[in-house]
Amino acid sequence: MLLCESIPVLKSWDIKIVGPDISSAMVAKAQSGRYSQLEVGRGLPNQLLVRYFRRDDAEWQAKDELRELMDFRVLNLTRPDPGLTGFDLVFLRNVLIYFTAATRVQVLNAAAKALRPDG
């Protein structure tokens, strides 16, 4: 959402945001694009909520323009080669806190290898 808001020409770019998780249940939840009022109420400004979601009974459904950018998949980031390559940018939000120091180093090294040379 922030990329769409910040970069108006985004629609002409080839962008895919990969959202990996080790839990197939969490990946299925993310793929559905459906969130409760409580979930969207945790820091999502109303302006973004009404622009990128539509109300569907008691839940909010992410609009297609947002969902088309996303690629959620089951993936274990601690595998020696998680199979991710060619990224311009990597964020590891709220994932490293669950790992030991040694595993953090392994995941960060894999993330660095997943970056393009100019990433």
Quick one: the chain helix, strand, coil %, rounded to 5? 45, 20, 40
pLDDT in tens, 55-81: 999 999 999 989 999 999 999 999 878
pLDDT in tens, 30-47: 999 999 999 999 999 999
Identify residue 21 by its one-letter amino acid code. Answer: D
